[in-house]
Structure 1
Amino acid sequence: MFSPYYKRSGRGDPINHSSLNVALYGPQARWAMTERGRGAVERDAGNLVIGPSAVRWDGEALTIDIHEQDKRLFNPFQRKVAGRVRVFPEALNRVAFALDAQENHIWHCLAPRARIEVEMDEPGISWSGKAYLDHNRGSEPLEQGFNTWHWSRAHLKDGALVCYEGERGDGSLFASALRFDANGVPEPVDLPPIAALPPSRWRVERRTRSDIGVAEVRRTWEDTPFYARSELASRFAGEEVVAVQESLDMRRFSSPLVQFMLPYRMPRKG
C-alpha cells in the first residue's frame, strides 16, 4: 500500500507489486522491503512466495522464511537479511471490522494474542516472546480513505486490548476500543481517555489511550516522515502494560518529497 511503483501504475495489478517487509531494530538493525513483479509471486490457500522469501500456514503456526537484502536510504551497500520467524496464535478471531461507512477499508485482527520464535542467520540474533497478527485490505488508496490514524495494542493478563482511531479522508473522525478475551472473541469497550504523546523526530503527531490519560514513550523503533512505531508504558483495563503504538500521516505520505524518497528505501526487482 506504500509502494510508489504501484501508485504510479494506477494500482491495477496488485500482485505485480508484492514485497515482504522485514524491520529489525537495535544494534543490528536491518530493513528490507524489495518489491517484486508478478512473475516472482506464487500463492495458494496455505502458501505465499515472494521472490526468495516465503510465508506458509500449517494450521499451527505462520512460518516466514526470509531471504532478503537490506536497503538503507542513500547507501548503496546492502547486507543479507536471512532467517525464520514462526508465529503461534494463542487465540484466533474470525470477525473483521470496517473502518468506514462504505466498507472500503477493512481491518481484521487475526490473532490478538500470539507467541513468536525468531531465528535469524543474518544478522545472527534470536529471541522469543509475545506477538500479534492482523490484516488490512481496501478497495481504494489508503491516502484517499484516511488523513491520519493512531493504533495501539497491548497484551492483558486475560486477552488483549486494541485501540484504533483517526481522521478519514472526508474529515470525519473514528475511534474504537476492542477487548479480546482469552479465546480471541472481540467485545467493544469504552474508550480510555486520550493520552497525548510527544511528536516523533520527524514531527509526526502521535496519540494513544490510557486509563489515566497518561502514557510514556519507552522507545521509538520506526521514525519516518509519515510513520512512527513506538513502545509505550501505559495502563489499560486496570493493568500496567507495555503497548505497541503506531501513528500514520497519509498527507505526509502523499507529499512530492516523500514520494521522491520512497524508491531509495524500497527498490524494485522484476
Structure 2
Amino acid sequence: MDALSADGAFGLTLIGFVGSVFSPYYRLAGRRDPEDHVALNVAFYGPRAKRWTMTERRRPALSRDPRTLSIGPSTMHWDGAGLTVDIDEVSPLVPYRVKGRVRLYPEAVVNHPVVLDGEGRHCWWPIAPCARVEVDLEKPDLSWSGSGYFDFNTGEVPLEQSFRRWNWCRASVADGTAVLYDLVDREGQDCSLAIRFDPATGVADFAPPPPAALKRSFWHMHRSTRSEAAAGARVVETLEDSPFYARSVVATRLLGRDVTAMHESLDLDRFARPLVQAMLPFRMPRRFV
C-alpha cells in the first residue's frame, strides 16, 4: 500500500512480505522457506515524523487466511469493503515505536494480475489502484487522509534472476489513477507499461509518454520516469534512499495533467553486491523467537 495526504505533506508505504525478497537472511537460506522469513515494512514520511521499520520474523509469528495476514503484533485484514492495517512495530537502530491503524477504501478493484516477464514467473496485481486512505497513529501522534493504492506481487524465482532494474510510478489523475512500469530484464530487453484505472470505465492501456530522466539520489541511484511535459519531470522529495532502492515524490505530466506521483527505482544488480548484502542486517533486523 502507498498513500499521499491530500495536502501533499505526508506519505506512507506498507508492505507485507511472505518470503522477504530483499532479506539477506532469506537469500542466505536459499529462499526455500518463505514462511520462515516474514516482515511488515512500515514507512511514514512527513515534516513532524519520519519512521521506518522492517523486522523479519520466523514462522511462528505468521498467521494467515484468505482475508488476513498477521506478522507478529501487526495485522492486515481485508473485509470486502476495505483493507485495515493495525501496526505495532519498532524501528531499527534508534528504537522508535510505530503504532496505529491505517484504513484503505477502494474506489476501483481489478480482478486479475499482470505478468511482468516473458517467462510468466513474476506477476503484479493492482488490486485497488484507486483508493482513499485514512491514517490514525498513536505513536507518533498523527492523523491524515488522502489518495492511496494497494497492489500485490508474487514471484517464482528471485527478482534479480529475472530483472536488472525497474522504475515504477503511481499518480492520481482525472477520473482515476495512472501507473507506469519500466522494466529491464536480464537480457537487457525493455518492457514499458502505461495503464489507466478509471472507476467508471475500467482499465485501459495508454501510450507511454517519452522517457524523462530524474536527478540521481545521494547513493547515485539512477532514477527515471515518463512525462508529456517538454521540460520532463523532477524529484519533489526523496523519501527513501539506499544503495539499491529509492522511493520519491515526483512532479510530472500524465494524460494532459500536471500530477504529483509516488515513484520507486530498484537496481537489482546493486542489490546483489556482497557489500550491499552485508549492510542490510542493520536496516532489517531478524527476530529468532
- The TM-score with structure 2 as length reference comes to 0.90
Structure in which a larger fraction of residues adopt strand:
2
2:113 is the alignment partner of 1:96: yes
Structure 2 runs not aligned, ≥5 long = 1-20
Q: 2:39 aligns with which of 4, 7, 19?
A: 19
Q: 1:40 aligns with which of 61, 73, 76?
A: 61
Deviations 1:42-76, CA, capped at 9 Å, x for gaps: 111111110111111111110001011001xxx3x
Q: Which amino acid aligns with 1:68?
A: E
Counterpart mapping for 1:56-205 below 5 A: 56-71=77-92, 75=93, 77-183=94-200, 185-205=202-222
SS of alignment partner, residue 112 of structure 2: coil
SS of alignment partner, residue 144 of structure 1: helix
Structure 1 runs not aligned, ≥5 long = none
Counterpart mapping for 1:202-241 below 5 A: 202-213=219-230, 214-241=232-259
The alpha-carbon deviation at position 166 of structure 1 amounts to 2.0
Distance in 2 separating the partners of 1:107 and 1:208: 19
Q: 2:282 aligns with which of 260, 264, 268?
A: 264
How much is the aligned-residue C-alpha RMSD, in angstroms? Answer: 1.1
Distance in 1 separating the partners of 2:188 and 2:268: 13
Structure 1 stretches of at least 4 aligned residues deviating more than 3 Å after TM superposition: none
The alpha-carbon deviation at position 183 of structure 1 amounts to 4.1
Partner of 1:3: 23
Deviations 1:153-208, CA, capped at 9 Å, x for gaps: 11111111111012112221111211112247221111101111111111110010
Distance in 1 separating the partners of 2:159 and 2:199: 32
| Alpha-carbon distance change, 184 to 83 in structure 1, aligned in 2, over 3 angstroms | farther
1:93–1:184 contact (8 Å) kept in structure 2: no
SS of alignment partner, residue 268 of structure 1: coil
- The TM-score with structure 1 as length reference comes to 0.96
